[in-house]
Structure 1
Amino acid sequence: MKRFKNLLLIQTPHTHFNPLALSRAIQLAQWNQAHLQVIYIFPESATNPTIPHEALLDNHRADIAVEILQYHPIPSLLEKIKQQAIDLVLIADPAIVTDLTQFELRLMRQCPVPLWIVRPNPYPFYKNILAAIDPDSHNPQRHLLNCLVIELGVSLSEMERAKLHVVHAWHLKGESELRHSAFMRVSEKELARLRAEEQEKHQAAVEHLISTHPSAHADINIQLLHGVASEVIPEFVHTQHIDLLIMGTVGRTGLSGLIMGNTAEGILKTVQCSVLTVKPYGIE
């Protein structure tokens, strides 16, 4: 599936101008037959900044537009994304760390298109890609967001020749109160029955979402994770050696721009793999 048409790779000084991110962006552009722009952002104090990776760039010079900036112009970057119909932004990250930089967080919160934080990977291709979904049949916007997450997961797993995992975290609402409240306490047997019923509902919702998606295939590993998403998803990422996490960020638009949900931001600050975040349609 050719999903993207216009890619933008942002390299900043803290990334040491990571050549691995450039190689992956070039590969992604070739797979999608897309146009690629690369922006190198230098400190304002830099004198005579020069573009690194000249040899790699020269091999693809006809297909890549290169620009040098000497500041962190997030408003102008957002305007460029809108005016030039960019449909994927990539940011190179220099190391496997859990802390996102302030630049990454600000752009992630405000970027209206999918944003990919590219972290180092020891293999030329990803082996495991995780698409995290949260089905809600009563919320059309969330349904479209889940479909986009699955679509990206399928497309990228094909390109990377990777195993695709689709996970949904669930828990029984009010379980702690049911277990410990002096007024509402229920037996363990009743709790087990309620959990089983809740799990069946979530299982049916996930299976319905997958079955109605045209790009889904039989090789997808579907997992329901019992627990709080901000805890069980990072654990799954670690134990299953996930290379790329794809997830939606549901937020609101306010005076400070788009604010990611607390759960999404908490997960993104915890995992060590590359992350690809997407927002609901129509969010700017």
Structure 2
Amino acid sequence: MKGHFKNILCILSDTHKQDEVVAQAIHIARRHQAKLTIQLKLEALPPNANMVMQSFAYLETHSSIESNAKAWLNEHIQNWAKEYPVTGEVTIGENFIDVIKYIIRNDVDLVIKLSDADIVERFFGSNDMQLLRKCPCPVWVVHRGESKQYDSIVAALDLNYHYPTHEISVRKKLNLDILRYAARIALMEFAQLHIVHVYDVVPESILRGGFISVDEDALQNDLEGIYAEREDELNRLLNELDKELDEGSLDYLKPEKHLVHGYPRREIAATAKAVGARAVVMGTVARLGVPGFIMGGTAEETLHQLHCAVVGIKPEGFISPITIDEE
């Protein structure tokens, strides 16, 4: 069943206070009895460095960085391995591109990393967003000080299937996958599972701008119809999940359903905050089958409003635009 991890990669982007995210990775790996690799990923020297340094000095500096980084990592691996079997490696290069190539080559099925954000108001750095967009496996991004045991997990679902026919089955599978991962995490953490879906009839910006007139009774009828439609689909998904989980697991989880009328780009994050979410599991791909669309506006805006960990899931069949043979 999806949601069970076998090969986990924990990425460290520097050597500053990394014990927290490693402890979280060990916690997850232990629960899943998964292989765990700690990768210290450092940026390469600036492109113009070889222009101002003689070639031998450039190569010597690069070698020195790598050697010192390996020494640091090996020292820490010895301590971390006392808690759980773990291997380590150092890579130097373009952050997200090289990481994704490594993930593809080694069949990694979960990436865990500390957010690259460097200011309070921004919760996801540029490399975080690139991984959430383009990494072929789930990406679990935690924020410093937030990687303790999670007691409230949110599965954010898009139950709107009013899309071209070829997209609908993929969207249904993605919703079920999100539920699978969220349920696994909730069971692993002995946490409360919340399921959030936000729906609307007429986009708020159109109503607010007065571009159309709306019959309030008709609008209310439409809202009631949409609510019933989305509730039926959610119940169907939960029935599917119940068949896959161990007997009694869904009854134990007692997931709380939140079908919220409002503007998805605002209300997904607001609802997650209201239920005290410690982690949100969500899809991080936009319109399926539309070239050039890797992450949509709703997902992107939601991510930047969340002040908790995020587990980003891709739909079945997603192929990363990064290939292992690209230079």
Equivalent residue, structure 1, for 2:94: 72
- Give 5+ residue unaligned stretches, structure 1: none
Determine whether 1:133 maps to 2:168: no
Equivalent residue, structure 2, for 1:199: 227
Determine whether 1:152 maps to 2:181: yes
Higher mean displacement: 44-53 or 156-165:
44-53
CA separation in 1, counterparts of 2:189 and 2:29?
Answer: 13
Q: Relative to structure 1, is the Cα distance of residues 81 and 269 closer, same or farther in structure 2, using a 3 angstrom cutoff?
A: same
Cα RMSD after superposing both structures: 2.8
TM-score, structure 1 length as denominator?
A: 0.87
- Is the Cα–Cα contact under 8 Å of residues 21 and 147 in structure 2 kept in the other structure? no
Identify the match of residue 143 of structure 2 among 98, 119, 134.
119
- The Cα offsets for residues 77-120 of structure 1, whole Å up to 9 and x where unpaired, read as 22221121110111112777543111111222110110010223
Equivalent residue, structure 2, for 1:5: 6
Q: Which residue identity is paired with 2:12?
A: Q
Q: Relative to structure 1, is the Cα distance of residues 56 and 255 closer, same or farther in structure 2, using a 3 angstrom cutoff?
A: farther
Q: Which has the higher strand share?
A: 1
Determine whether 1:59 maps to 2:82: yes
Q: Which residue identity is paired with 2:309?
A: S
Give the aligned length: 280
Give me the identity figure in percent. 26
Q: Relative to structure 1, is the Cα distance of residues 31 and 187 closer, same or farther in structure 2, using a 3 angstrom cutoff?
A: same
- Is the Cα–Cα contact under 8 Å of residues 88 and 113 in structure 1 kept in the other structure? yes
CA separation in 2, counterparts of 1:22 and 1:180?
Answer: 49
CA separation in 2, counterparts of 1:180 and 1:71?
Answer: 48
SS in 2 for 1:69: strand
Matches within 5 A, 1:1-284: 3-13=4-14, 16-44=16-44, 47=65, 48-49=68-69, 50-51=72-73, 53-54=76-77, 56-60=79-83, 63-93=85-115, 98-121=122-145, 124-135=148-159, 139-173=168-202, 185-213=213-241, 214=243, 215=245, 217-218=250-251, 219-251=254-286, 259-284=294-319
Q: State the structure with more CA Rg.
A: 2
- Is the Cα–Cα contact under 8 Å of residues 183 and 193 in structure 2 kept in the other structure? yes
Q: Tell me the CA shift for residue 58 of structure 1.
A: 3.5
Q: Relative to structure 1, is the Cα distance of residues 122 and 6 closer, same or farther in structure 2, using a 3 angstrom cutoff?
A: closer
CA separation in 2, counterparts of 1:185 and 1:176?
Answer: 13
Q: Relative to structure 1, is the Cα distance of residues 179 and 156 closer, same or farther in structure 2, using a 3 angstrom cutoff?
A: closer
SS in 2 for 1:135: coil
Q: Tell me the CA shift for residue 4 of structure 1.
A: 0.6
CA separation in 2, counterparts of 1:76 and 1:178?
Answer: 45
CA separation in 2, counterparts of 1:123 and 1:23?
Answer: 8
- The Cα offsets for residues 116-146 of structure 1, whole Å up to 9 and x where unpaired, read as 1022356741110000111256611111111
TM-score, structure 2 length as denominator?
A: 0.76
- Is the Cα–Cα contact under 8 Å of residues 196 and 259 in structure 2 kept in the other structure? yes
- Is the Cα–Cα contact under 8 Å of residues 115 and 128 in structure 2 kept in the other structure? no
Q: Relative to structure 1, is the Cα distance of residues 253 and 208 closer, same or farther in structure 2, using a 3 angstrom cutoff?
A: closer
Higher mean displacement: 215-224 or 91-100:
91-100
CA separation in 2, counterparts of 1:73 and 1:110?
Answer: 13
Q: Which has the higher helix share?
A: 2
Q: Relative to structure 1, is the Cα distance of residues 185 and 283 closer, same or farther in structure 2, using a 3 angstrom cutoff?
A: same
- Is the Cα–Cα contact under 8 Å of residues 16 and 94 in structure 1 kept in the other structure? no
Q: Relative to structure 1, is the Cα distance of residues 120 and 176 closer, same or farther in structure 2, using a 3 angstrom cutoff?
A: closer
CA separation in 1, counterparts of 2:10 and 2:4?
Answer: 16
- Is the Cα–Cα contact under 8 Å of residues 110 and 259 in structure 1 kept in the other structure? yes
- Is the Cα–Cα contact under 8 Å of residues 169 and 227 in structure 1 kept in the other structure? yes
CA separation in 1, counterparts of 2:214 and 2:297?
Answer: 31
Q: Relative to structure 1, is the Cα distance of residues 100 and 80 closer, same or farther in structure 2, using a 3 angstrom cutoff?
A: same
CA separation in 2, counterparts of 1:141 and 1:206?
Answer: 16
- Is the Cα–Cα contact under 8 Å of residues 280 and 308 in structure 2 kept in the other structure? yes
CA separation in 2, counterparts of 1:82 and 1:151?
Answer: 22
